[in-house]
C-alpha cells in the first residue's frame, strides 16, 4: 500500500511538473480591419456634434447637452458593403442612401441621401471606436458647417 501511495504521489508530481514546462504557442497575428470594414461593422450614432450657422455655434453631446434644437439622439447611420445604407433622421424616418469614398486616402465620403441630397463629408477619420467628420452645407441659402463624432450603435449591428 505504501508503494502504491508513493507511486501515485510521484506520478502526480511528474504530471504537474511537466505541465508547467509546456510551451505556450503564440496566437496568430490578427489582421487589422480596413477603414471600410470598420465603417460597415456597426451602425453609428452621433455622440457629439458642433453646428455653425451664421456665426452662431451650437453643440450636442449625447446625454450632456443639446443647444442645437435638433434631436440628434434619434439619428442613426448604417453603412453597407455594397455602397448603400440607411439613415434614421431626426424625425425617426428611415431613408436610404448611397455612399463611396471620394478620395483614395478614404478621408472623404460622398453621401447621397434619398437619391438627391448630396453631402461631402471631409476630414473623415474611421476607427472601430468612432468616426469623425466635418461637412459644409447650404440650406435655404444659409451656409452651415457641422463637425461630429459618431460611436458604434450596437442595436444596428448586422
Structural domain includes residue 7 = no
- The 3-state DSSP class for residue 155 equals helix
Per-residue confidence (pLDDT) for residue 10, from 0 to 100 = 54
Burial of 157 from C-beta contacts in 10 A (0-12 / 13-18 / 19+): exposed
Structural domain includes residue 107 = yes
Per-residue confidence (pLDDT) for residue 140, from 0 to 100 = 84
pTM value?
0.77
Per-residue confidence (pLDDT) for residue 145, from 0 to 100 = 93
Per-residue confidence (pLDDT) for residue 25, from 0 to 100 = 80
Structural domain includes residue 147 = yes
Per-residue confidence (pLDDT) for residue 42, from 0 to 100 = 92
Residue 51 structural domain:
35-156
Per-residue pLDDT of the chain (158 residues; tens, 9 = 90+): 555 555 555 555 555 555 555 677 888 888 899 999 999 999 999 999 999 998 899 999 999 999 999 999 999 999 999 999 999 999 999 999 999 999 999 999 999 998 888 889 999 999 999 999 999 988 888 899 999 999 999 876 55
Structural domain includes residue 78 = yes
Structural domain includes residue 11 = no
What is the rounded distance in angstroms from the CA atom of residue 8 to the CA atom of residue 127? 56
Per-residue confidence (pLDDT) for residue 15, from 0 to 100 = 54
Structural domain includes residue 30 = no
What is the rounded distance in angstroms from the CA atom of residue 58 to the CA atom of residue 139? 16
Structural domain includes residue 152 = yes
Residues with Cβ < 8 Å from 94, sequence gap 6 or more? 86, 87, 88
Q: Could you tell me the CATH number of the domain that includes residue 121?
A: 2.40.128.540
Residues with Cβ < 8 Å from 3, sequence gap 6 or more? none
Are 106 and 126 contacting, i.e. CB atoms less than 8 angstroms apart?
Answer: yes
Structural domain includes residue 97 = yes
* Number of domain units in the chain: 1
What is the rounded distance in angstroms from the CA atom of residue 146 to the CA atom of residue 121? 9
Phi/psi of residue 35, nearest 5 degrees:
-60, -40
Amino acid at each position: 500500500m505504501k508503494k502504491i501511495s508513493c507511486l501515485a504521489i510521484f506520478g502526480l508530481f511528474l504530471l504537474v511538473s511537466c505541465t508547467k514546462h509546456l510551451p505556450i504557442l503564440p496566437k496568430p497575428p490578427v489582421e487589422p480591419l480596413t477603414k471600410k470594414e470598420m465603417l460597415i461593422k456597426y451602425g453609428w450614432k452621433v455622440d457629439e456634434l458642433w453646428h455653425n450657422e451664421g456665426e452662431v455655434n451650437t453643440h450636442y453631446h449625447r446625454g450632456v447637452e443639446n443647444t442645437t434644437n435638433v434631436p440628434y439622439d434619434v439619428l442613426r447611420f448604417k453603412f453597407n458593403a455594397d455602397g448603400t445604407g440607411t439613415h434614421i433622421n431626426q424625425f425617426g424616418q428611415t431613408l436610404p442612401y448611397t455612399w463611396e469614398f471620394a478620395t483614395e486616402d478614404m478621408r472623404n465620403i460622398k453621401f447621397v441621401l434619398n437619391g438627391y441630397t448630396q453631402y461631402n463629408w471631409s476630414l473623415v477619420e474611421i476607427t472601430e471606436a468612432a468616426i469623425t467628420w466635418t461637412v459644409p452645407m447650404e440650406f435655404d441659402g444659409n451656409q452651415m458647417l457641422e463637425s461630429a463624432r459618431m460611436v458604434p450603435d450596437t442595436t444596428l449591428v448586422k
